[in-house]
Amino acid sequence: MTGEAALREWTIEALARLRREAARSADTHLLRLEFPGFPGIGFYFKDEAAHPTGSLKHRLARSLYLYAICNGRLRPGQPVVDASSGSTAISEAWFARLLGLRFTAVMPACTAPRKIADVEALGGRCDLVDDPSQVYERAAWHAAQGACHLDQFGLAERATDWRGNNNIAESIIGQLAGEPQPEPAWVVCGAGTGGTSATIGRYLRYRGLHTRLCVADPAGSAFAAGWRARDRGAVARAPTVIEGIGRARVEPGFVFEVVDEVVEVPDAASIAAMRLLEEQIGRRYGGSSGTNLVACLQLAARMRDAGGTGSIVSLLCDPGERYDRTLYDPQWLARAGIDPAPAEAALRRTLASGAWHALA
Ligand SMILES: *Cc1c(COP(=O)(O)O)cnc(C)c1O
């Protein structure tokens, strides 16, 4: 067989493996929650932790491999690399194993240890850099050595089929079809690559819905400042301990135009809300899921003040076990100087009364 013929055969087999994986997987649950302070407002949370690799990055990793393969950028035996704060690396390592490829994740050294262990358990290598802003350059270096760069930050927004193919937005809107308020007032999500918000925002317009899109991001984030000033050069004013979101720069995949609102959430409030989710659902989720809940409650309080009813949809992004030794460890929190107790008290008052209580 010639090289080109062998490449075509490998491409066909790789796509078949990805298709079989999709066929074996089920859609994720859309959980409904009710809070006493918000009669008439339905809260829905899409449980993206239920994917085989534990986060919403399962969808993205599948799309990035498909995009690389169908563009002829990924060849048999070629190593694969990407920059990641962890969740994407876990999903990409899992698909690399499925396809029989070697995978290297370039991650900040401060990434939760559990995520690093998960990548390694899947046969991936971790190349840790001390300064989180170095991950892009380091991944580009691996690509220059011959690796295929999946490039989540550069390609997330275009690798996903935003019109359909059961993307996250199509799945949510389909699952809501029989609910009392099937056209949500708001969808709330975080932004890391910006891929999820771009897909949801585009799909809402495409379907002609009135639903608005809110991005929940850590206080002082680059996305919040950038979105407000329509400035792609904005940078974060403060670091965050919430992984997956709160990027230091405005990533190329973050589409300003499809976002209707950005709510900034202090880290302590995200962590407090993450604990409240555990109480409500009986399972642990990561910090960015808590960030989403805080923004949902802020929007719900505004709806209630205006006498409105409706539904609000958000995402549970990844499982809490990944943060056993960080966000869920009281000693780690104390060392980081974070006390979620005041924010937790404020959020509990909001849940009970429906009135927004400012976060400490
Ligand atoms: C990636 C990620 C997000 C944000 O999603 P994007 O589609 O990359 O914008 C939120 N939470 C977690 C845990 C993530 O890993």
178 shares a domain with 145: no
Among 51, 118, 317, 321, which is best to mutate for testing ligand 1, by the most ligand atoms less than 8 A from CB? 317
* Ligand 1-lining residues (CB < 6 angstroms): 55-57, 87, 156, 190-197, 244-245, 286, 288, 317-318
Mean pLDDT, residues 143-169 taken together: 96
**206 belongs to a structural domain:** yes
294 shares a domain with 341: yes
319 shares a domain with 194: yes
Place of tokens 């690799």: 53
Ligand 1 mean position to 209 CA, how many Å?
24
3-state DSSP assignment of residue 310 = strand
Q: For residue 88, which atom of ligand 1 is closest to its CA?
A: 15
Closest-CA residue, ligand 1 atom 12, reads 244
Rounded distance between C-alpha atoms, residue 143 and residue 137, angstroms? 10
Predicted pLDDT of residue 360: 61
Residue 195, domain CATH: 3.40.50.1100
Rounded distance between C-alpha atoms, residue 211 and residue 299, angstroms? 13
Rounded distance between C-alpha atoms, residue 288 and residue 342, angstroms? 19
pLDDT digits (tens, 9 = 90+) for 170-195: 999 999 999 999 999 999 999 999 99
Angle between helical axes of 87-99 and 3-24 (0-180°, round to 10): 120
32 shares a domain with 88: no
47 shares a domain with 64: no
Rounded distance between C-alpha atoms, residue 326 and residue 333, angstroms? 7
Range of the domain at 137: 57-157
End-of-domain residue from the set 157, 183, 209: 157
152 shares a domain with 168: no
**323 belongs to a structural domain:** yes
User: Mean pLDDT over all residues of the chain?
Assistant: 96
Quick one: DSSP state of residue 179?
A: S
What residues have CB less than 8 Å from 201, skipping those under 6 apart?
213, 255, 257, 258, 259
Cβ contact 297:223 at 8 Å? no
Predicted pLDDT of residue 86: 85
Ligand 1 mean position to 3 CA, how many Å?
38
Which amino acid, residue 338? Answer: I
Whether pTM > 0.85 for this model: the answer is yes
183 phi and psi angles, rounded to 5 deg: -105, 100
pLDDT digits (tens, 9 = 90+) for 302-314: 999 999 899 999 9
267 shares a domain with 152: no
**277 belongs to a structural domain:** yes
**65 belongs to a structural domain:** yes
End-of-domain residue from the set 106, 131, 157: 157
Cβ contact 179:203 at 8 Å? no
Predicted pLDDT of residue 351: 97
**358 belongs to a structural domain:** no
185 shares a domain with 325: yes
**335 belongs to a structural domain:** yes
337 shares a domain with 205: yes
Structure tokens at 20: 């079989």
Rounded distance between C-alpha atoms, residue 170 and residue 202, angstroms? 11
**2 belongs to a structural domain:** no
Closest-CA residue, ligand 1 atom 14, reads 244
Cβ contact 327:66 at 8 Å? no
> Of 17, 159, 23, which is closest to residue 98 (Cα–Cα)?
17
188 shares a domain with 292: yes
**147 belongs to a structural domain:** yes
Q: For residue 195, which atom of ligand 1 is closest to its CA?
A: 7
Among 46, 53, 56, 189, which is best to mutate for testing ligand 1, by the most ligand atoms less than 8 A from CB? 56
pLDDT digits (tens, 9 = 90+) for 241-257: 999 999 999 999 999 99
152 shares a domain with 295: no
Domain count, the chain: 2
If phi > 0 it is left, if psi is from -120 to 50 it is alpha, else beta; for residue 81 that is beta
102 shares a domain with 36: no
End-of-domain residue from the set 130, 157, 184: 157
Closest-CA residue, ligand 1 atom 11, reads 244
Cβ contact 286:322 at 8 Å? yes
Pairing of strands 148-149, 261-265: unpaired
